């Protein structure tokens, strides 16, 4: 029975305990489109709008009973003006936000590249809930423990590719890990060496103060030599653990 393993090739970041460098605040501009901070006020407005036809119906019936239909047209502009003013107040209270907002991110200088095996064998259910889901849970735990660093994700089977480039957005990293499946790579196999090489290349181009590669796989390498790839990582100032 194959066992799921997590192997770490790293420099300067101790996982899972999580030693990180001194925090550095970095800015990121994020397009927000349009949104409303106080959504509750919009709900209140909807209640008012929904109630208007019923109120008008009751008032019209009362006017007919009192024979006061002659004054209806003169009061209608005042009602419309009042409703327009109410809508403007509600919109102002909802605090609409448009365009771009600035996020300040506590970036600690470390880079974590997750290398995830998504070959068909990872769908085996000899462990709960499956090998792949167990590996994904491990990856999510690592993201939680090392939040504040940058994260990336490489998936591989018979070939490897960068599924998520290195990013400061830990929430995006979680979403990409959760969405990983064996259908991402149609070519079957286990190219651990190629996946490690891509991780090394991505981290080298990033130039992080400290870096770590986490390999999550259930099988043996079928193409290339992962030992040679690990040696290349060591030569690039990455320690093999």
For the chain, what are the domain ranges? 5-29+108-240, 38-94
Torsion of Cα atoms, 180 then 176 then 158 then 10, to 10°: -120
Q: Are 10 and 199 a contacting pair, CB within 8 Å?
A: no
Which residue from 45, 33, 34, 9 is spatially nearest to 217, judged by alpha carbons? 9
Token code pair at residue 225? 């030599």
Region 132-146 average pLDDT? 94
CA 105 to chain centre: 15
Region 92-119 average pLDDT? 70
pLDDT at 129 over 80: yes
* Alpha helices per DSSP H over 100-147: 131-145
pLDDT digits (tens, 9 = 90+) for 83-94: 676 667 666 666
Q: What pLDDT score does 233 carry?
A: 52
Residues 49-64 as b or e (16 or more Cβ within 10 Å = b):
eeeeeeeeeeeeeeee
Which residue from 132, 97, 151, 159 is spatially nearest to 216, judged by alpha carbons? 132
Region 27-31 average pLDDT? 48
pLDDT at 60 over 60: yes
- Unique residue bearing structure tokens 């008032």: 59
Question: Phi, psi (5° rounding) for residue 33?
Answer: 65, -115
CATH number of this structure's domain 5-29+108-240, picked from the four choices 1.20.120.1200, 3.40.1020.10, 3.40.190.10, 3.40.50.410: 3.40.50.410
pTM of this prediction? 0.58
**How would residue 210 be classed by pLDDT, with cut points 50, 70 and 90?**
confident
End-to-end CA distance of the chain: 24
Instruction: Name the region of 225 (left: φ>0; alpha: ψ -120 to 50; beta: rest).
Output: beta
Q: What pLDDT score does 11 carry?
A: 44
**How would residue 98 be classed by pLDDT, with cut points 50, 70 and 90?**
low
Please give the mean pLDDT across all residues of the chain.
72
pLDDT at 185 over 80: yes
């Amino acid at each position: 029975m194959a066992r799921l393993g997590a192997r770490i090739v790293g420099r300067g970041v101790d996982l899972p305990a999580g030693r990180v460098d001194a925090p550095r605040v970095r800015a990121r501009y994020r397009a927000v489109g349009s949104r409303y901070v106080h959504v509750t006020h919009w709900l209140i407005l909807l209640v008012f709008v929904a109630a208007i036809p019923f109120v008008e119906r009751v008032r019209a019936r009362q006017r007919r009973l009192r024979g006061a239909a002659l004054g209806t047209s003169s009061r209608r502009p005042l009602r419309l003006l009042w409703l327009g003013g109410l809508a403007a107040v509600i919109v102002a209270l909802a605090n609409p936000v448009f365009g771009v907002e600035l996020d300040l991110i506590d970036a600690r200088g470390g880079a974590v590249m997750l290398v995830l095996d998504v070959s068909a064998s990872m769908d085996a259910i000899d462990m709960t809930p499956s090998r792949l889901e167990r590996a994904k849970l491990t990856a999510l735990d690592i993201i939680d423990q090392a939040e504040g660093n940058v994260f990336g994700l490489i998936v591989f089977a018979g070939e490897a590719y960068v599924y998520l480039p290195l990013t400061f957005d830990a929430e995006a990293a979680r979403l990409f890990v959760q969405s990983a499946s064996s259908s991402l790579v149609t070519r079957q196999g286990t190219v651990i060496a190629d996946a490690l090489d891509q991780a090394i290349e991505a981290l080298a181009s990033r130039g992080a103060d400290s870096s770590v590669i986490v390999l999550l796989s259930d099988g043996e390498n079928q193409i290339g030599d992962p030992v040679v790839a690990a040696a290349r990582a060591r030569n690039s100032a990455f320690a093999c653990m």
